[in-house]
Structure 1
């Protein structure tokens, strides 16, 4: 069926009108039903308050972003639900109660300007740190207003006073110096890509009209985005620009002094970065160069100037194996720090260059069944210092500081927010349909061993995003304390075992994602951990697509499903908001050979009125300008028409994260766990069917 025919036969296209009166009436009517069913019980209210108290408490770690002597933090609590942007010194931060300098009170700003501002981030100008570019969104959308902020006066600089400012768009704005920036935004007709991101990068000088900004690079409408930046490392200053031709391929250029562009002859799907004299590549596919073949997932390095002169004798810093993948890396002033995953558990290393090559040592010991990440590396002004943050499923987060070659010291530690005594974490492997062993973690009370019980499994499986252990107080309060079992899956499509774990599951290989997840569901039952009527599943965004496929292809495996901010109509996803940017992941439905495999699993096209489905809760956000709310709306309407048990809730704010503040986050979390408690615990206990009939 062609796209035009599909449009003519879809009776729910009106639900794609994001702010249409009829569509919003649909959302509000369904919200009322969901609130009445799930959000009026004492149990729901108690959990919502507990989660909100946890989100608002000052015992949480205020994670900082380091810029030389300053540590910046954005903070929300009960008194400041929209949040404070603030900073302090490292010495002050290390005290039990740091004295913070408040730079922006977002609640006061929103009230004064009568706008529903949601924080979008800050770019601080270095080295002075007296100016910043502040991003604010209305209701949590990806599109943001960007305004220049003077930290000396704590006031925004108005355009009439020479301040940089951009209206609402999916813009990019980055500092060159105090009087010039690189900008990509909506410059008018044909200035955006089909995905809605900047197609043109320009250099903009203070005091001049945006229309007069100098064009650096123009991409094609079919590109994802074009962006430019400046490396201000003293003695190694470089201007650069890049063109993302799709989600995974990018062409990078250095900007010469005369304004000409010099393309870096590197694989377009490699991650490219540099530090001082070093050019660093993390490969996504094998690359044969300089008489050597480097495998996918390898990290290789060469002197940048020698590379520009034609050298290709790369040194290999990391080579993956069947159990180990590179998870992250970053520079201190003199060292390169690596984060690896060994069967989805982290290990940390420090690499040091010398005349004899590179040495590798363990950076720090890390706990098992936990995730430890390196943060706040500042090679420009921070020497060889770093911070480590670590947490596990039942272990609250800790934040440590250290310097390469020295000991680490504890900076902050969060308290526990749920009763974790007796709850343990295990790792298992399920055999997928093609024989691949796929890992997953099971978190449950030890008393649950040997008996099947209510279980919820979560999944994502896309965009090379790795899911690793971490403390989730909401699931602890809302599910583990109630006797439930929680499962985190590491299915293909992610990056837990390197790029190939992802690339084998894109486009025509997408079926592997769904086979992996369903195989884990079957494995949980085979091991006696749960039963199909007691098994729930939850996922959001790409994970919401996963949930849609589970509902329509494997409904007999589950007792309940929660599907958040999902893609579901794969016939039209590329026409809605940022959908065109994901064609490299899913395929192009306008190409018959690619719709051939997309059409085999697209949930919206595969609902069956005659097949029993478990109850499903669909959630989305009106202000989500990444994944269109029409996906969830249309699916809810179609399932209702076919007589299935479906619950639908739409947050009128919130963006792609589904919530714009702590109160909304607490409501969303409590709603999910109350839904699972009613469908997998209460109704199973009293003998009714999962759909209440």
Structure 2
């Protein structure tokens, strides 16, 4: 180990002058001061210039009205959650822009127009307290399901205030648990104790801005009285140390603490009678559920467990009692293993069963697993429609019922209620068509990337399309963090784009999870160019098929997808006429200095410590690779001031660099909204209308 120190120190020291040079040569560092008067004056000026042009377009008003009508429509499916034997739902409409939390009975929920009782009104709460509250989460203690932790964000940012709420009284608990604004990680240990990771002092955060110390807080204690039970390291990567309590339908419990090493690797610890114990499992394995006394693990890398090798992407189980008795000697059993075209997509549990959502060539399937003797499992595929997206909804820990949503690009969502104990599944809600899809068809096609790999993609277009390259086409992808993009029903895309004759393309490029961990790992770090090649290859395939052409092809993506858009714009300006860059990452050399950017080094690599990573992003970072004299498409750059995850700084600096080069662009920064399109329905509708107006101006 000692022999490695000089080399490590040299790498570290060598990176400091380079980073200093970047900062010194960057004329737009001042735009990183996201709320300074100078920066906000710049934002206001550019907002006014862009919105005045777009909102004066004759199409804008209609697009805004359509987007708002879609977002506030009364006939949407009220997505349900099982709680206290009733059905709860969080709902937004034109009368409740920030939303109401409400409840009804299951029988009443089956009706076309259920009678709802309001539990918590977020609009009224914000008005009474003079805050721009956005509901960020609800966590109710099991099995009582009476006391809940309510997370409230001011303006939509990731940081939130947490308060204890009583479902019986419909009031916040007087002198109950309360955490001030922060990026908290909280779980119920029992009714009177919370396990909390937060910024206990200003120094108790990682370089990414996330907590690394877990403490136990008893009811009635002040935060400074909480007792430390676990400490990670200030240099930890990822999203912060996270405590979680898993419970099953028999009220067995297991407290888990994850300590992130980077974005995807973490150590797993469990709380036993003799203290915190680390589990001997891979760093890319997660304890995700507890079912009938079995601990469920999701494997994102292979695991040699004794004489058994479990492949990456598999789901396995371990007996809870055995784990607690001998946490250093685990014996796992296989629950599910993917084939070459399959991938794990999500899971949940009921009182006695595990429900799994998988992808089969990017098509959805749901499987119910029942535990049997000797920690074995039996499987039954649920009878749901084929070739559609399947998303698991709320499940009931007091029965074997669960809601499942099924939808497709031109197939409105249907909500099913599955009772796996009775082998019964029924449709309980169906979304009426939100746009006319009678003239459209969905195809799944393949493009060949630069290394010969086949890249699947979906295209939705008119049945009578003319293959002459004139169809206005909007293409999107994400390509990162093992996030899978599957077919989905979007009323806004359908009404505002497809219904008016446009085509829509969803590319399943590498970096995502559509084909399991290997599909993601193919584009990690300095291998990332293949992700961008995949996307460009799909575009070239569309053009070769004469579905569209560069004159009529636009692309859109947000967050990591915004980085994708920035790279595609700078690498292939000849392929696109329109580029929508939303809440993006664009300055990849200062990413660790902006918002939570340091937490994603597992995905992008560390430009501060690894010369190869730095050299890679010097060639690809969109902010640094805009060039004078190149004819780029005129992009629409969108961000939000309240985005404390990625930060508005990337978008601002990219726009400023374009302005310096006298390159045209549209820029819009919403002053609220967090890492999204808006904090309420009107803000979201405005963002959608501005975006679509831009696309029509460019692609028709």
TM interval, shorter chain, is over 0.9
RMSD value, Cα:
1.7
1:207, CA displacement in angstroms? 1.5
State the distance in 1 between where 2:330 and 2:642 align: 47
Match of 1:684 in 2: none
Match of 2:206 in 1: 193
- Tell me if the contact between 1:47 and 1:477 (Cα under 8 Å) persists in the aligned partners: no
State the distance in 2 between where 1:558 and 1:574 align: 30
Match of 2:77 in 1: 61
For the pair 1:291 / 2:307, whether they are aligned, the reply is yes
For the pair 1:170 / 2:183, whether they are aligned, the reply is yes
For the pair 1:118 / 2:134, whether they are aligned, the reply is yes
1:235, CA displacement in angstroms? 5.5
State the distance in 2 between where 1:287 and 1:485 align: 43
1:125, CA displacement in angstroms? 2.5
- Tell me if the contact between 2:185 and 2:241 (Cα under 8 Å) persists in the aligned partners: no
- Tell me if the contact between 1:279 and 1:301 (Cα under 8 Å) persists in the aligned partners: yes
For the pair 1:580 / 2:598, whether they are aligned, the reply is yes
Match of 1:627 in 2: 646
- Tell me if the contact between 1:551 and 1:561 (Cα under 8 Å) persists in the aligned partners: yes
For the pair 1:375 / 2:393, whether they are aligned, the reply is yes
Match of 2:10 in 1: none
CA deviations over 1:267-326 (Å, ceiling 9, x no partner): 121122333432322221222221232221122223233455365553323222221112
Match of 2:425 in 1: 408
State the distance in 2 between where 1:286 and 1:106 align: 45
State the distance in 1 between where 2:392 and 2:599 align: 29
For the pair 1:659 / 2:678, whether they are aligned, the reply is yes
Match of 1:265 in 2: 280
For the pair 1:465 / 2:483, whether they are aligned, the reply is yes
CA deviations over 1:77-126 (Å, ceiling 9, x no partner): 11111111112221221122222221111111111111111111211223
- Tell me if the contact between 1:184 and 1:226 (Cα under 8 Å) persists in the aligned partners: yes
State the distance in 2 between where 1:73 and 1:137 align: 19
Match of 1:418 in 2: 435
For the pair 1:439 / 2:456, whether they are aligned, the reply is yes
CA deviations over 1:240-260 (Å, ceiling 9, x no partner): 3221222212222221235x1
- Tell me if the contact between 2:268 and 2:286 (Cα under 8 Å) persists in the aligned partners: no
1:127-138 aligned at under 5 Å gives the runs 127-138=143-154
- Tell me if the contact between 1:385 and 1:401 (Cα under 8 Å) persists in the aligned partners: yes
Q: 1:334 to 1:129 in 2, by over 3 A?
A: closer
- Tell me if the contact between 2:84 and 2:145 (Cα under 8 Å) persists in the aligned partners: no
State the distance in 2 between where 1:670 and 1:327 align: 32
- Tell me if the contact between 1:454 and 1:680 (Cα under 8 Å) persists in the aligned partners: yes
Gaps of 5+ in 2: 1-16
1:506, CA displacement in angstroms? 0.7
1:595-614 aligned at under 5 Å gives the runs 595-614=614-633
For the pair 1:180 / 2:197, whether they are aligned, the reply is no
1:438-517 aligned at under 5 Å gives the runs 438-452=455-469, 453-517=471-535
Q: Alignment partner of 2:269: what SS?
A: strand
1:386, CA displacement in angstroms? 1.4
Match of 1:83 in 2: 99
State the distance in 2 between where 1:595 and 1:372 align: 40
1:528-567 aligned at under 5 Å gives the runs 528-567=546-585
State the distance in 2 between where 1:629 and 1:88 align: 40
State the distance in 2 between where 1:338 and 1:157 align: 36
Match of 2:363 in 1: 345
1:19, CA displacement in angstroms? 0.6
How many pairs does the alignment contain?
674
Match of 1:319 in 2: 337
Q: Which has the higher mean CA deviation after the structures are superposed, 554-563 or 476-485? A: 476-485
Q: 1:53 to 1:86 in 2, by over 3 A?
A: same
State the distance in 2 between where 1:449 and 1:291 align: 58
Q: Alignment partner of 2:98: what SS?
A: coil
State the distance in 2 between where 1:321 and 1:76 align: 40
Q: Alignment partner of 1:474: what SS?
A: helix
Q: Which has the higher mean CA deviation after the structures are superposed, 470-479 or 4-13? A: 470-479
State the distance in 2 between where 1:599 and 1:320 align: 37
Match of 2:317 in 1: 301
Match of 2:109 in 1: 93
Alignment partner for residue 354 of structure 1, among 372, 375, 381? 372
State the distance in 2 between where 1:240 and 1:557 align: 48
1:612, CA displacement in angstroms? 0.9
State the distance in 2 between where 1:670 and 1:508 align: 37
- Normalised by the size of structure 1, how large is the TM-score? 0.94
1:127, CA displacement in angstroms? 3.4
1:179, CA displacement in angstroms? 2.4
CA deviations over 1:365-407 (Å, ceiling 9, x no partner): 3232x201222222x31x2111111111111111111211423
State the distance in 1 between where 2:390 and 2:142 align: 29
- Normalised by the size of structure 2, how large is the TM-score? 0.93
State the distance in 2 between where 1:68 and 1:35 align: 47
State the distance in 2 between where 1:138 and 1:347 align: 38
1:332, CA displacement in angstroms? 2.4
State the distance in 1 between where 2:132 and 2:596 align: 23
- Tell me if the contact between 1:323 and 1:343 (Cα under 8 Å) persists in the aligned partners: yes
State the distance in 1 between where 2:634 and 2:648 align: 20
Alignment partner for residue 333 of structure 1, among 331, 345, 351? 351
- Tell me if the contact between 1:349 and 1:364 (Cα under 8 Å) persists in the aligned partners: no
1:175, CA displacement in angstroms? 2.1
- Tell me if the contact between 1:44 and 1:670 (Cα under 8 Å) persists in the aligned partners: yes
State the distance in 2 between where 1:642 and 1:185 align: 43
Q: Alignment partner of 1:265: what SS?
A: coil
State the distance in 2 between where 1:502 and 1:525 align: 26
State the distance in 1 between where 2:34 and 2:615 align: 29
State the distance in 2 between where 1:574 and 1:88 align: 46
Q: Which has the higher mean CA deviation after the structures are superposed, 594-603 or 6-15? A: 594-603
Q: Alignment partner of 1:607: what SS?
A: coil
- Tell me if the contact between 1:492 and 1:513 (Cα under 8 Å) persists in the aligned partners: yes
State the distance in 2 between where 1:311 and 1:200 align: 27
State the distance in 2 between where 1:354 and 1:184 align: 37
For the pair 1:365 / 2:381, whether they are aligned, the reply is no
CA deviations over 1:427-486 (Å, ceiling 9, x no partner): 100000000000100001111152321111001100000000011111112211221111
Match of 1:275 in 2: 291
- Tell me if the contact between 2:292 and 2:371 (Cα under 8 Å) persists in the aligned partners: no
Q: 1:136 to 1:355 in 2, by over 3 A?
A: closer
Q: Which has the higher mean CA deviation after the structures are superposed, 620-629 or 597-606? A: 597-606
Match of 1:691 in 2: none
State the distance in 1 between where 2:334 and 2:668 align: 50
State the distance in 1 between where 2:650 and 2:415 align: 39
